[in-house]
A and B are shown apart, each in its own frame.
Chain A
Amino acid sequence: MKVLVAVKRVIDYNVKARVKSDQTGVDLANVKMAMNPFCEIAVEEAVRLKEKGAADEIIVVSIGPKAAQEQIRTALALGADRGIQIETDVELESLTVAKLLAKVVEEEQPGLVILGKQSIDSDNNQTGQMLGALTDMPQGTFASEVNVADGKVAVTREVDGGLQTVSLNLPAIVTTDLRLNEPRYASLPNIMKAKRKPLDSKTPADYGVDTSPRLTVLKVESPAERQAGIIVGSVDELVEKLKNEAKVI
């Protein structure tokens, strides 16, 4: 079974995003970039499926600027077999990304597509589900456990009240949640080897997908800052303040 993994280049999760002074967006100039953390988990899960013998080839795809090849190389170093980059300098909406991925799915015919549940920049949480709709594949979103057997995949999902398990016909889509696995680090020899793995370069036009946006970002602002309050000296003072000042207990 082929596994297709989609990865996104985003601001490093340790970096605090700062809004540009002209309110047109978040300042990404000279900011450290990395693979979206949920996408790292997706790559790791694919590699584990291959190690278990459930998958025989892992294709990693990334849509974004030329520099996103770094994230594809990272995935190749972690164990993916080949990469596809769809190069664009335009920030694409989830629907457009899903349409491009649907074309890749049509070409590659994977048994399983694994994506992060959301990217930590746009926080949309849409692409996997939209890809499911466009390809009529079932989806297991927010996965904390994935088991492939007998032409089906059982996905345990993190839902609001606890866990839910669904059984999906293959081919299927899985989106990862944090507890699915702990991604490994790439070893130096594997990083060297990854440089020789095949990486195909494409553009959205190659797939005939219209990338014009449907949403206009009117402005991007910093959230209202919360003011620090006071330090109380004792539990008694705390209880007194909560009762008489805040009146919340």
Chain B
Amino acid sequence: MGILVIAEHDNATLKGATLNTVAAAQAIGGDIDLLVAGENCAAAAEEAAKVSGVSRVLVADNAAYAHQLAENMALLVTDLGAGYSHILASATTTGKNFLPRVAAKLDVVQISEIVSVESADTFKRPIYAGNAIATVQSSDSIKVITVRATAFDPVATDGSASVEAVAAAHDAGISAFVKEELAVSDRPELTAAKVIISGGRGMGNGENFGLLEKVADKLGAAVGASRAAVDAGFVPNDMQVGQTGKIVAPELYIAVGISGAIQHLAGMKDSKFIVAINKDEEAPIFQVADYGLVADLFDAVPELESKL
């Protein structure tokens, strides 16, 4: 019995989270097939064939999968997945959207956002916003799993898997894509960035995030925000780092004007190095920071930028 991993991609390129999910599949052990479902997705499939540890790339190229609508994806993955021992997807908004539908169609439970593989049927996953880690064992014949990408090191891209077309065209005909408004940025994506600089309520307004952007440009960093900054309307929600936003684990995380609410810490406490800049020396963020600087951010951030 093998493992089916569903690739995260935008038809043109393979998303990095796929490499972490394949790493989780390797930790389980077994033949790994990687499914690329999309429309005109040959370029993504070509990249998928280079992912280390993958035996076969299955390509379902059909208009029904163009935007990976959950209803159609679930029919396809249920159809293909019945013969596997494990079905894995990244715990992104795409994977979280269609995979529970697959699990229900197969009448098995889903194990969400695993952070470690203990054995082929036993996994660790965070609950209560990361305040507890549960070890769970599944008795289902097919294990359906989403993988928290930051918990697994990505596999290399020096493989050469065979590529096979999948003819199955499943269109449930009950949902349709209307439009997409994606943030356009030259900076790396939050979940893929090696360095992240985030602002909180202390930034005061959205324009002041420009200070962080200047530092980000010098460090090749992504810019994030706390939920407080999002709720205050400073910046859009897709910048949110935290339990209710994105879970990140970069090499360097710089928290500026962020107090360190539990919900924010749940999203970034696995970063390798954490820097906190805050004028309140009592702020809880200092309890998790490797380097803390008690200073007014409006002095410290421009100075930091000038010295990089």
Q: Which chain A residues have a beta carbon within 8 Å of chain B's beta carbons? A: 11, 16-19, 26, 93-95, 98, 120-134, 136-139, 141-142, 144, 154, 157-169, 177-179, 214-223, 226, 228-232, 234-236, 238-239, 241-242, 246, 248-249
Contact A167 B293 (CB under 8 A): no
Contacts of B244 in A (CB 8 A): 178
Beyond the given A95-B104, A120-B129, A154-B178, could you list 6 further A-B residue pairs with CB under 8 A, ordered by the A residue number? A95-B107, A129-B104, A169-B175, A214-B140, A239-B304, A249-B219
Contact A168 B70 (CB under 8 A): no
Counted as pairs of residues, one from A and one from B, with CB atoms less than 8 Å apart, the total is 249
* A–B Cβ pairs within 8 angstroms, 24 of them: A26-B128, A95-B104, A120-B243, A124-B112, A125-B112, A129-B99, A138-B174, A154-B178, A160-B191, A160-B246, A162-B182, A163-B181, A216-B137, A222-B131, A222-B132, A223-B133, A226-B287, A229-B291, A231-B292, A235-B307, A239-B308, A246-B273, A246-B291, A249-B195
Contact B128 A17 (CB under 8 A): yes
Contact A249 B252 (CB under 8 A): yes
Interface residues on B, range: 35 or more
Contacts of A228 in B (CB 8 A): 286-289, 292
Contact B70 A139 (CB under 8 A): yes
CA distance A218 to B251 in the complex (A): 32
Contact B175 A138 (CB under 8 A): yes
CA distance A108 to B274 in the complex (A): 51
The interface residues of chain A, by DSSP majority, are classed as mixed
Contacts of A234 in B (CB 8 A): 293
The chain B residue sitting closest to A223, CB to CB, is B133
Contact B292 A165 (CB under 8 A): no
Interfacial residues of chain B within 273-289, with CB under 8 A of chain A in the complex: 273-275, 281, 286-289
The chain B residue sitting closest to A123, CB to CB, is B127
Contacts of B195 in A (CB 8 A): 248-249
Q: Known contacts A129-B70, A164-B67, A178-B237; is A238 also within 8 Å of B291 by CB?
A: yes
Contacts of A229 in B (CB 8 A): 274, 289-292
Identify which of B67, B98, B191 gathers the most chain A CB atoms within 10 Å of its CB: B98
Query: Does residue B49 face the partner (Cβ distance < 8 Å to A)?
Result: no
Contact B252 A248 (CB under 8 A): yes
Interface residue from B92, B102, B132, B140 paired with A160 (Cβ < 8 Å): B92
Contact A223 B132 (CB under 8 A): yes
The chain B residue sitting closest to A241, CB to CB, is B291
Identify which of B98, B128, B308 gathers the most chain A CB atoms within 10 Å of its CB: B128
Interface residue from B134, B177, B304, B307 paired with A219 (Cβ < 8 Å): B134
Contact B131 A17 (CB under 8 A): yes
Q: Known contacts A138-B174, A231-B293; is A214 also within 8 Å of B109 by CB?
A: yes
Contact A136 B237 (CB under 8 A): no
Within the complex, the shortest CB–CB distance from B232 to chain A, in Å, comes to 13
